[in-house]
């Protein structure tokens, strides 16, 4: 089936960040093709509940309703934060484009302009991700890491004038919302390695919608797609979801024989007491292989046991 409507219907969550991300893709579609795009707000299970992501079932709680609307023909295109997608493909759908991503690192928003190292022992730091909880605890700074939920504004309000000393958020979301002025430190991946596909968007459509597939292909960025493929393959091979304390980060750099992909990954105990890290380098065309090999190396060094403890 191909899209026959003159206006593309783009499904999105109604949060300010999701709306901003979706509008940027809609504008890019119109700029590249002249086709108008209408945003359609869809409520997801993750939006309706205040429970922790792990309690809701982890991966997929923000995307299932949007994917149903796409499969049912209610919308023609969906825009997701790529890190929210399950690693298994959805039958009948395809990722038609991965636009250039924002800076994937994590960012600290702290009181009084403090950096992570300047926060006193016992300072309360809020985050919703087990990955961040584990890595922050592993730094051994004596911080009290507090699990929190809510949108970007809600989380930041917990700092000023709220009850926390700091929160850790994805820098990409703050950039898209024009809130980088609140960042007191962008965290070095040597300290806190980002989540797989953090900062990237996935633009999805029906696999048999040839017209929309061709249209969206104009937005695809090969470098970002290769990096995200390596990161998410690491996650998939570990058989972990977005609620697991797993990190992966790929970068492209110019090597002696052309572009090289540098992939890093880690699995950390939730209490920060133990962890494994690894890295691999290879050509971007080998992104899938690199992700699998890195995951195998992490598993050989005890990653499965660390994830099992986290699940319990």
Catalytic residues: 84
Angle at 182 between CA 179 and CA 183, to 5 degrees: 105
DSSP code for 52: -
Find the farthest-apart pair of alpha carbons in the chain and give their distance in angstroms, rounded.
60
Structure tokens given for 162: 């709220």
> Hey, which residues does 168 pair with through a beta bridge?
108
Closest CA to 218 of 80, 34, 66: 34
Question: What CA–CA distance (Å, rounded) separates 234 from 257?
Answer: 25
**Based on the number of CB atoms within 10 Å of its own CB, is 275 exposed (0-12), middle (13-18) or buried (19 or more)?**
buried
| Matching residue, tokens 């709220």 | 162
DSSP code for 276: E
- For the chain, the 3-state helix, strand and coil shares in percent, each to the nearest 5, are 40, 25, 40
The H helix count followed by the E strand count for the chain is 11, 13
Would you call 222 helix, strand, or coil by DSSP?
A: helix
Pairing mode, strands 258-268 and 275-282: antiparallel
């Amino acid at each position: 089936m191909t899209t026959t409507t003159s206006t593309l219907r783009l499904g999105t969550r109604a949060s300010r960040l999701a709306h901003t991300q979706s509008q940027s893709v809609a504008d890019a579609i119109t700029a590249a093709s002249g086709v108008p795009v209408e945003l359609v707000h869809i409520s997801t299970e993750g939006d309706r509940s205040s429970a922790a992501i792990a309690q809701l079932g982890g991966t997929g709680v923000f995307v299932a309703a949007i994917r149903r609307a796409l499969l049912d023909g209610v919308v023609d295109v969906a825009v997701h934060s790529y890190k929210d997608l399950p690693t298994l493909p959805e039958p009948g759908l395809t990722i038609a484009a991965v636009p250039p991503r924002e800076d994937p690192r994590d960012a600290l928003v702290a009181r009084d302009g403090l950096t992570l190292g300047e926060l006193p022992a016992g300072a309360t730091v809020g985050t919703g991700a087990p990955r961040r909880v584990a890595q922050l605890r592993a730094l051994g700074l004596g911080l009290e890491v507090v699990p929190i939920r809510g949108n970007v504004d809600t989380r930041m309000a917990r700092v000023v004038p709220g009850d926390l000393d700091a929160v850790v958020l994805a820098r990409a979301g703050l950039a898209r919302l024009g809130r980088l002025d609140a960042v007191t430190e962008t965290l070095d991946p040597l300290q806190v390695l980002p989540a797989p596909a953090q900062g990237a968007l996935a633009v999805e459509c029906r696999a048999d919608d040839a017209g929309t597939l061709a249209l969206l292909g104009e937005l695809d960025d090969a470098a970002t797609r290769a990096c995200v493929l390596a990161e998410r393959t690491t996650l998939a091979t570990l058989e972990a979801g977005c609620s697991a304390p797993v990190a992966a980060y790929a970068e492209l750099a110019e090597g002696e024989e052309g572009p090289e992909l540098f992939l890093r990954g880690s699995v950390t105990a939730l209490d920060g007491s133990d962890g494994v890290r690894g890295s691999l380098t290879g050509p971007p065309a080998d992104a899938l292989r690199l992700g699998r090999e890195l995951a195998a190396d992490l598993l050989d060094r005890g990653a499965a046991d660390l994830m099992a403890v986290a699940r319990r």
